Amino acid sequence: MIDAGWGRIINISSSSAQSGAVKMAHYSSSKGGMIALTRTLAQEFGEYGITSNTIPPRFVHNTAMSNESFERDDMKAKFQEMIDAGPIRRHGEPEDIAGAAAWLASDEAAMSPDK
């Protein structure tokens, strides 16, 4: 990427990195580490035309992780509660994340000084 003078680093984090999540200290802390890594890479490689971003989804359904979680009896009741607690009152879909990643990978997201 340095030799090419162009590159995109896109990491997936989680909103739990900022808010925490009950019984998920390991998950939340690892996602917080992902945010710190992403910010560090942005500072280290930005001058070479390499962007580094993280997408921190709040609640994405229809993924292996969410499907497994919401099959548990203790989580079934929380499904609608989690949707209602969010700003857009719906869960995300994998396509929502894919769209954000596609844009971040594009030239339109370059944030280069020559734009």
pLDDT confidence of residue 41? 98
Retrieve residue 2's tokens: 């340095």
pTM: 0.79
Which amino acid, 90?
A: R
Asked if residue 79 lies in contact with residue 70, where contact means CB atoms within 8 angstroms, the answer is yes
d(CA 49, CA 110): 8
Q: 3-state SS of the chain: helix, strand, coil percent to 5?
A: 55, 10, 35
Q: Which residues are marked as active site?
A: 27
pLDDT 10s digits, 89-98: 877 888 999 9
pLDDT at 62: 74
Q: Using one digit for the tens of pLDDT, what is the confidence trace for 33-57?
A: 999 999 999 999 999 999 999 998 8
On average, the pLDDT of the chain sits at 87
Q: Which two tokens stand for residue 37?
A: 């890594």
What confidence tier does 63 reach under pLDDT thresholds 50, 70, 90? Answer: confident
pLDDT given at position 114: 60
